[in-house]
Amino acid sequence: MTRTDVPRSGTLPLVNWLSNGGSGWVLGLIPLSLTLWFASMLPPIIAGEVLRVSYSWIPSLDVALAFRVDGLSLVFALLVVGIGTMIVIYAGGYMAGDSQIGRFYLYLFLFMGAMLGLVLADDIMTLFVFWELTSISSYLLIGYKHAYNSSRSAALQALLVTGSGGLALLAGLILVAIAGGSTSISTLIEQGDLVRESALYMPALVLVCIGAFTKSAQFPFQFWLPGAMAAPTPVSAYLHSATMVKAGVFLLARFTPILGETPAWAITLSTFGAITMVLGAYLSVSQVDLKRILAFTTVSSLGTLVMLIGIGGEYAITAMMVFLVVHSLYKGCLFMVAGSIDHETGTRDVTLLGGLRTLMPITFGATVLAALSMSGLPPLLGFVGKELIYEATLDAHELSPILLSAASVVGKVLMIIAAGIVVVVPFTRAQRAKPEAPRVGHEPPLSMWLGPVILGALSLLFGAFPTQLIQPITNSGVAAILNEAVEVEVKLIPSGLTPYFMLSVLTIALGFVGYWFARPTLQRVGNATEGLLEQGPVNSFNAVVNGMQALARWQTRVLQSGYIRNYLRIIVSSVTLLVSYALLTRADFSRVQWLPIGATVLEWVIALAILSGAGLVVTAQKRLNALAGLGLVGYGVTLIFLFFGAPDLVMTQFSIETLSVLLFILVLYRLPVFSSVSSEAERIRDAIVAGAAGLMVTLMVLVTVSGQLERLLTPYFAQNSYPEGRGRNVVNVILVDFRGLDTMGEISVIGVAAIGIVVLLRLRLGGEKNDPETVSTGKEQL
Amino acid sequence: METILFPAVDLGVIAPMFTIFTWASVLLLVDVFLIPSDSKRFTGYLALAGVLATGIVTLMIQVGRAVGPGTSIPSFSGMVVLDSFGLTITWIFLIIAAITIAISINYLPQHNIELGEFYPLILFATGGMILLGQSTNLIMIFLGIELLSITLYILTAFFYPRFTSEEAGMKYLLLGAFAAGFFVYGIALIYGGAGTVDLLEIGAFIAAQPAVVPGVLPSPEVSLVMIGGGLVLVAFGFKVALVPFHMWTPDVYEGSPTPVAAFMSVGTKGAAFSALLRVLLIGLPGLQVFWVPVLGALAAVTMIVGNIGALQQTNVKRMLAYSSIGHAGYILLGIMAANERGTEGFLFYILAYALANLGAFAVLIALEKRGEMAWSLDDFAGLWRRQPMLALAMAIFMISLAGVHPPQAFLASSWSLRRRGKVGRGRWC
């Protein structure tokens, strides 16, 4: 018996249990305790209190790490941690045996924290930081199965869409902060009029809407959500149905008192919401993958929520709050069920499944409850939600009650069909003689059916007693959104044969008829239009992404050619443009002497010499000739100095010119013959650039010498050289006295340069001598 | 013979600079005469000691002169100034220098380019950077830029016998000389207009003139200052790699030895920006109507071109070069804010950026040391499995670079991930 056997035999059962799903039970305690903690806040919140805490964060920018618990944020927080508890337990079972489950939990809890921070934030900068964190953690979760290319590209797609939305949101939030004069959400809520009356209102509205629409998968950004189904199912159940995608809805609800209650707001939100609602439901019925069906119904539900916020008013907002809870409960349940089916049978394709009712009875029970809630049948909470939605749309007199109600009916009918596909096909369809699914299903472990059962049961419980259980919470939520106390009744039994109830009955009837008779037709039509409606946005997204890459390639090719002559051309053109702009707009040309009147013969001669030198440089076929031209220009300039009374400069310039010509010749001696001459077109282009630059410099010099400067520098030096510098040569005194430090500095620079040149020479000489191998291998010579 | 009166100089003001220059000069001699050629790393340690000594002197000055917010001690006829901005940026430069030397000590022998002069040259460049941080005089700024640049031309070409290194040195030298020409011409015009090269006096001169407003022609003097200022901006644009003066950056970073590229990416940028900050905020605040739109346009173009350019790079050094171009645009925004908060933000950004960027380059060096020439992004595939600590460090630096400007680094890393997906061995990043 070795020493290591002792502890191992003692801990093995625990380790086994933890790695086989037990970890979910343990970690589930964290969100569970949070749920209880948030639940304990219910009484004061329902009583109308608002709890706030604030920590100073960036005081100089007046940004605080501030949180606020009111009816709206509490409902969201309870959903986040409550459903989170089920998901963590479920994930323990679903991911059992996954070697990287630790990483999975890390991302999941990162997301949970981010989402909690987002819904509780009371400062728009705090809100934004958590908003971005949800995007990033969602990216990590979607790409969790990083070995698959599809996961990675879906993750990137989701990140790019929500990330660009985040940028728009940031801009929108900053505009709101500027217009409202504060970053605190509580303050902004009280000063909503300030924002609405500001000139920045429209841009802020558009930008905030883009942020919310990308996050909540509204048309035309709905395409990333079905793609995100590449994530493990617990993630889809949590992020892409119950919580993260609701962040956009939350944002719109949160900003209702700040940006809402205007025609622009109502029209934008209700239009996009209604389109998304119908489009999502329509696309869902032609899918065969369980998760994709559910993903598209999620898109549809999100559209419903956005539409309701757009309609506004206490009834629509109450409907929104109720439907939010309804949707989170049934969608979380159905996604977990889809995961269980996938986990147990090995497929999510409904055409391959059947007869699971007897094999997975508990799961079946939960599914039926959830699907009935989704279909809006009494006595489930879905029915209550649907009644309220119809009440809201039929009363949306400022918009278009008929259009919105019709859209809602169509959306709901299609949802019933989708619910039917999710329940009826896999569970109750007769088991084929030879099952096509890879494995025969059986009931999953407790950890995987507990969550669905609880959520399904809650749908039933809340549906049976909405007035007692749901109404207080939604009323406080609505009060938080509308910033005024409300009392809207949420009830199961309709008060007589109201139009809403009639519409509800009609919907259910149409739904059942549609499921039994119209489903094949719908699926055919759906498949036919799939390319346009489903692939269209994906393709345009890809086109944008590829276009950006192409732009990057083009930019690199054009700007980064590697040839210094191209770099110089770009620099010279830019400077010419920049300085010409400054010259033409700012300089005074009125005193410029355009014609060389009064120039002496000597000056003409020198000027011509310089010009011909320049001409020689440009036209020379041999380097030596060009050099001679350059020398001519240099000596011409020296002569100008000579005739205008600057003998010191003449001496300097003369030595430098001579020296540089000599050095040039020494270098040229070792260079190959000038053989490749640029083409005609290139030369014309270069001539234009050079000509423009020359013109710009000429203009600059003309302007410089034309102005009658008020103060001249020369007298100062002429007067002070002798008394202060003790020298009669003004130039010398300037160099060694007035600007002595500069001169010393320049000498040091030259010293450093000399040292450097010595070093470089030593490297080359030493390198050749010491290590011939390095030279010859050329491995690093890219 | 009458006695010649020297103007009073306060050596304390230039004490950090003085220390590092003296140390560099002495170290040069020590290296040649005392240190045998097979133990040149000792020169590196001495150079580190020099940075440390300079740090101690800086600390003594900071405490001894009670330099705090609002302190401003000019000396040498107002050519250099001791203030808390200059000292803060000095500290950042010393950190940069220390890290550069530390990562070079093993790098140089590895690549057979170990010469003792490397370290004094880094010290000279650092001295130039400190001078730039303290100058309040255009000529001094020019001196600082030259001192820094000439050292860098040499250091860039240090990677013998790599052709790209020589090419990079050559390109940098030619374009740098061009920029220096702009700078000198700009100084001359400003001097002609304002009659002084002292930033404070230039500021006072412009303030005394009628206010510059768009649409009205300023006086000839002010227009001279304005045109000169434009040329000076061009030269700064070259030094800090603003688009369209940025093209040298990727070529030079790729060609030069990695520690030099690291040094350049943060050092030159920080020094040139701190000088630009003084020029704009002390010398030319009266011309804001002129330079704010120009710099705004340059910053915007720089951010866009830098970030988009990074997307398609497969060479990590070139990617970091584009990243540094993009960062220049962001830093410029802090300067354009033209207020105390902008300056604070600038210093903070430079420090954060310096640490992250130096760190990223240090990871590259560590990889090169282990025999991997990690210049292609594909080389990073599976790094986590081979070098978990380095991979973690690189991830932190990348996230840090992303944190200060998210789109570029995030997109760049995502795309690099995609590309690795294609070769089918991707796992990390």
Nearest-5° angle of CA A233, CA A235, CA A239?
Answer: 130
Query: Do the chains contact at A159 and B153, CB–CB below 8 Å?
Result: no
Query: Do the chains contact at B161 and A757, CB–CB below 8 Å?
Result: no
What average pLDDT does range A457-464 have in this prediction? 85
Other residues' Cβ atoms within 10 Å of the Cβ of residue A332? 29
What average pLDDT does range A406-421 have in this prediction? 86
Which single residue is written with the structure tokens 């970690």?
Answer: A27
Average pLDDT, chain A: 81
* Bridge pairing between strands B72-75 and B80-83: antiparallel
Which of the residue ranges A78-82, B34-38, B372-376 would you say has the lowest mean pLDDT?
B372-376
Nearest by CB to residue B192, choosing from A146, A704, A726, is A704
- The residues in B 33-72 lying below 8 A from A, measured between CB atoms, are none
Q: Residue B303 has what pLDDT? A: 86
Predicted confidence band of residue B420 (pLDDT cuts 50, 70, 90): very low
CATH class for the domain made up of A563-721: mainly alpha
Look at A541 and A431; give whichever has higher pLDDT.
A541
Structure tokens belonging to residue B106 = 């093993």
The yes-or-no verdict on residue B428 having pLDDT over 50 is: no
The yes-or-no verdict on residue B1 having pLDDT over 80 is: no
Residues of B in contact with A706 (CB under 8 A): 220
Nearest by CB to residue B4, choosing from A726, A739, A741, is A726
The yes-or-no verdict on residue B294 having pLDDT over 90 is: no
Predicted confidence band of residue B385 (pLDDT cuts 50, 70, 90): low
What average pLDDT does range B354-376 have in this prediction? 73
Determine which helix (DSSP H) or strand (DSSP E) holds B337, and give its type and residue range. Answer: none
The yes-or-no verdict on residue A728 having pLDDT over 80 is: no
The yes-or-no verdict on residue A432 having pLDDT over 60 is: no
Residues of A in contact with B115 (CB under 8 A): 759, 762-763, 766
| Separation of alpha carbons B171 and A576, rounded Å | 21
The yes-or-no verdict on residue A320 having pLDDT over 60 is: yes
Predicted confidence band of residue A29 (pLDDT cuts 50, 70, 90): confident
ipTM score above 0.90:
no
The amino acid at A523: Q
Q: Residue B405 has what pLDDT? A: 41
- Flag whether the pTM goes above 0.90: no
Which of the residue ranges A61-70, A80-89, B254-263 would you say has the lowest mean pLDDT?
A61-70
| pLDDT single digits (tens) A467-488 | 888 888 888 888 888 878 777 7
For residue B362, give the nearest of B41, B117, B96 by alpha carbon: B96
Please answer whether residues A379 and A463 qualify as being in contact, where contact means their C-beta atoms are separated by less than 8 angstroms: yes
Q: Residue A496 has what pLDDT? A: 73
Query: Do the chains contact at A753 and B234, CB–CB below 8 Å?
Result: no
Query: Do the chains contact at B415 and A555, CB–CB below 8 Å?
Result: no
| Separation of alpha carbons A244 and A231, rounded Å | 14
The yes-or-no verdict on residue A396 having pLDDT over 70 is: yes
* Bridge pairing between strands B72-75 and A51-58: unpaired
Q: Residue B377 has what pLDDT? A: 60
Predicted confidence band of residue B419 (pLDDT cuts 50, 70, 90): very low
Q: Residue A612 has what pLDDT? A: 93
The yes-or-no verdict on residue B314 having pLDDT over 80 is: no
What residue in B sits closest to A160 (Cα-Cα)?
B411
| Separation of alpha carbons A85 and B417, rounded Å | 33
The yes-or-no verdict on residue A11 having pLDDT over 60 is: no
**A289, β-bridge pairs:** A349
Please answer whether residues B175 and B220 qualify as being in contact, where contact means their C-beta atoms are separated by less than 8 angstroms: no
**What are the structural domain ranges in chain B?**
15-380
Which single residue is written with the structure tokens 């796992």?
Answer: B427
What average pLDDT does range B347-356 have in this prediction? 83
Residues of A in contact with B310 (CB under 8 A): 552
Look at A397 and A462; give whichever has higher pLDDT.
A462
Structure tokens belonging to residue A396 = 């949306």
The yes-or-no verdict on residue B427 having pLDDT over 90 is: no
What average pLDDT does range A761-770 have in this prediction? 66
The amino acid at B71: T
Which of the residue ranges A355-364, A507-516, B339-348 would you say has the lowest mean pLDDT?
B339-348
Provide the residue count of chain B.
Answer: 429
| pLDDT single digits (tens) B161-176 | 778 888 888 889 988 9
For residue B108, give the nearest of A765, A772, A776, A759 by alpha carbon: A759
Identify the three-state secondary structure at position A632.
Answer: helix
The yes-or-no verdict on residue A507 having pLDDT over 60 is: yes
Residues 6 or more apart in contact with residue A71 via CB below 8 angstroms: A45, A46, A473, A474, A475, A476, A477, A478, A479, A480, A481
Which of the residue ranges A164-168, A493-497, B111-115, B278-282 would you say has the lowest mean pLDDT?
A493-497
Please answer whether residues B247 and B322 qualify as being in contact, where contact means their C-beta atoms are separated by less than 8 angstroms: no
Please report, rounded to a whole number, the percentage of residues in chain A having pLDDT higher than 70: 91
10 Å CB burial of residue A737 (0-12, 13-18, 19+) is middle
| pLDDT single digits (tens) A336-355 | 888 888 888 877 777 777 77
Alpha-carbon radius of gyration of chain A = 38
Q: Residue A689 has what pLDDT? A: 92
10 Å CB burial of residue A741 (0-12, 13-18, 19+) is middle
Please answer whether residues A172 and A212 qualify as being in contact, where contact means their C-beta atoms are separated by less than 8 angstroms: no
| pLDDT single digits (tens) A173-187 | 888 888 888 888 888
| Separation of alpha carbons A107 and A655, rounded Å | 71
* Bridge pairing between strands A63-69 and A51-58: antiparallel
For residue A98, give the nearest of A33, A19, A35, A4 by alpha carbon: A19
Predicted confidence band of residue B53 (pLDDT cuts 50, 70, 90): very high
Query: Do the chains contact at A707 and B28, CB–CB below 8 Å?
Result: no
Identify the three-state secondary structure at position A57.
Answer: strand
Please report, rounded to a whole number, the percentage of residues in chain A having pLDDT higher than 90: 6
The yes-or-no verdict on residue B236 having pLDDT over 90 is: yes
What percentage of chain B's residues is helix, strand, coil (to nearest 5)?
75, 5, 20
The yes-or-no verdict on residue B225 having pLDDT over 70 is: yes
Which of the residue ranges A182-186, A215-219, A733-737 would you say has the lowest mean pLDDT?
A733-737
What average pLDDT does range A236-242 have in this prediction? 79
CB pairs under 8 A between A and B: 201
What average pLDDT does range B94-101 have in this prediction? 93
B27 touches chain A (CB under 8 A): no
Query: Do the chains contact at A749 and B147, CB–CB below 8 Å?
Result: yes
The yes-or-no verdict on residue A534 having pLDDT over 50 is: yes
Please answer whether residues B278 and B176 qualify as being in contact, where contact means their C-beta atoms are separated by less than 8 angstroms: no
The amino acid at A560: Q
Query: Do the chains contact at B418 and A571, CB–CB below 8 Å?
Result: no
Query: Do the chains contact at B139 and A739, CB–CB below 8 Å?
Result: yes
For residue A63, give the nearest of A170, A204, A203 by alpha carbon: A170
Q: Residue B7 has what pLDDT? A: 64
B273 touches chain A (CB under 8 A): no
- Our CA-based measurement puts residue A12 at a distance from the nearest CA of chain B, in whole angstroms, of 28
| pLDDT single digits (tens) A668-691 | 877 777 667 778 888 889 899 999
Q: Residue B122 has what pLDDT? A: 94
Predicted confidence band of residue B370 (pLDDT cuts 50, 70, 90): low
Determine which helix (DSSP H) or strand (DSSP E) holds A711, and give its type and residue range. Answer: none
Nearest by CB to residue B220, choosing from A582, A709, A748, is A709
- Our CA-based measurement puts residue B223 at a distance from the nearest CA of chain A, in whole angstroms, of 6
For residue A264, give the nearest of A392, A390, A398 by alpha carbon: A398
Q: Residue B56 has what pLDDT? A: 93
B250 touches chain A (CB under 8 A): yes
